[in-house]
Amino acid sequence: MTNWQKSFFSLVFLFLMLAFAYSQTQAPPARTDSDLDYAALSRHVSVIAAKPHTMGSAANREVRDYIVEYFRSLGLDTEVQKTTVIYRHPFRPADAVTVGNVENIIARLPGTSAAMGKGANDLVLMGHYDSRPDGPGAGDDAAGTAAIMEVARIMTSGPAPLRDVVFLITDGEEMGLLGAQGFYRQHPDAKNVGLVLDFEARGSRGAASMFETSENNAWLIDNLIESAPDLVASSLSYEIYRNMPNDTDMSISKGEGIPGLNFAFVAGLFDYHSSTDTAENLDPDTLAQQANYALGTAQHFANLENWQSASGDKTYFNLWQGRLVSYNQGVAVGIGLLVLIFGLWLFVSAMRRGTIKRGSLGSGFLSLVALILLVSNVFESLIDYQQTTATGISRLISLGEWPLLAYFITTLGITVWFAMAIRRGLSKAEVFVPAFVIALISLLAGRPWFGAVMLMVILVALTWFIRGRKNTPDIWVSALVVWWLLLALVLYFAPNASYLLAWPLASVLLGISLQRSLGLTANGGARLVGMLIAGAVPLLLLPPVIVLGYLALGSTFPQGIMIISTLSLLLLWPLVRNIGSVANGKAGLLLLGAGLLMTLVMMFGRDFDARHPRGEAFYYAIDVDQQEGFWVTARVEPDTWLGEFMGTGAGEANFNRILPGFDEEILIRKTALPPYDAAKLKINRDRVTDAGREISFHLQSPTAAEYVQLLFSSDAGISSASVNGFPVKVPEEWPDAAQMRDRTQADAWWRWRWYGLPRQGADVMLTLEPGRPLEIKVIEVDYGTPEGAPPRPEDSMPKIYSWSDSTVIFQVVVLD
pLDDT tens-digit map of 730-758:
998 888 777 677 888 888 999 999 999 99
**pLDDT for the residue numbered 655:** 95
Q: What are residue 751's DSSP bridge partners?
A: 711
SS3 103: strand
Residues 6+ apart with CB under 8 A from 480: 343, 505, 508, 509, 571
Tell me what the mean pLDDT of segment 763-777 comes to. Answer: 93
**651 and 587 fall within a common domain:** no
**pLDDT for the residue numbered 116:** 64
- Give the whole-angstrom CA distance, residue 111 versus residue 160: 6
**523 and 389 fall within a common domain:** yes
Answer whether residue 463 shows pLDDT above 80. yes
Domain final position from 289, 320, 351: 320
Domain final position from 320, 342, 367: 320
**540 and 629 fall within a common domain:** no
**253 and 366 fall within a common domain:** no
What backbone torsions phi and psi does residue 446 show, to the nearest 5 degrees? 85, 15
- The overall longest dimension of the chain from CA atoms, in Å, is 95
**650 and 597 fall within a common domain:** no
User: Dihedral sign, CA of 569, 574, 577, 579?
Assistant: negative
- Give the whole-angstrom CA distance, residue 45 versus residue 35: 18
**258 and 370 fall within a common domain:** no
Is the model more confident about 381 or about 113?
381
Position 605 confidence tier, pLDDT thresholds 50, 70, 90: confident
- Decide if 486 contacts 501 (C-beta within 8 A): yes
- CB-count burial class (<10 Å; 0-12, 13-18, 19+) for 146: buried
Instruction: Tell how strand 726-728 and strand 680-689 pair up.
Output: unpaired
pLDDT tens-digit map of 86-110:
999 988 888 889 999 999 999 999 9
Q: Find the CATH number of the domain harbouring 97.
A: 3.40.630.10
Report yes or no on 648 lying in a domain. Answer: yes
Report yes or no on 32 lying in a domain. Answer: no
Report yes or no on 327 lying in a domain. Answer: no
Tell me what the mean pLDDT of segment 768-773 comes to. Answer: 90
- Please tell me the total count of domains within the chain: 3
Residues 6+ apart with CB under 8 A from 495: 315, 329, 332, 333, 336
Residue 307's CB is within 10 A of a number of other CB atoms, namely 16
Position 519 confidence tier, pLDDT thresholds 50, 70, 90: low
Position 117 confidence tier, pLDDT thresholds 50, 70, 90: low
Could you tell me which of 628, 631, 624 has the C-alpha nearest to residue 650? 631
**589 and 531 fall within a common domain:** yes
**575 and 636 fall within a common domain:** no
Report yes or no on 30 lying in a domain. Answer: no
Q: What is the mean pLDDT of the chain?
A: 91
- Decide if 221 contacts 326 (C-beta within 8 A): yes
**587 and 539 fall within a common domain:** yes
Tell me what the mean pLDDT of segment 771-783 comes to. Answer: 94
**598 and 630 fall within a common domain:** no
Report yes or no on 379 lying in a domain. Answer: yes
**pLDDT for the residue numbered 20:** 93
Q: State pTM to two decimals.
A: 0.94
Position 115 confidence tier, pLDDT thresholds 50, 70, 90: low
- The distance in angstroms from the start CA to the end CA of the chain is 92
Answer whether residue 520 shows pLDDT above 70. no
Report yes or no on 325 lying in a domain. Answer: no
pLDDT tens-digit map of 544-589:
999 988 887 767 788 899 999 999 999 999 888 888 888 777 889 9
Answer whether residue 302 shows pLDDT above 70. yes
Position 36 confidence tier, pLDDT thresholds 50, 70, 90: very high
Residue 3's CB is within 10 A of a number of other CB atoms, namely 16
Domain that holds residue 256: 38-320
**pLDDT for the residue numbered 339:** 97
pLDDT tens-digit map of 476-512:
999 999 999 999 999 999 999 999 999 999 999 999 8
Tell me what the mean pLDDT of segment 182-189 comes to. Answer: 97
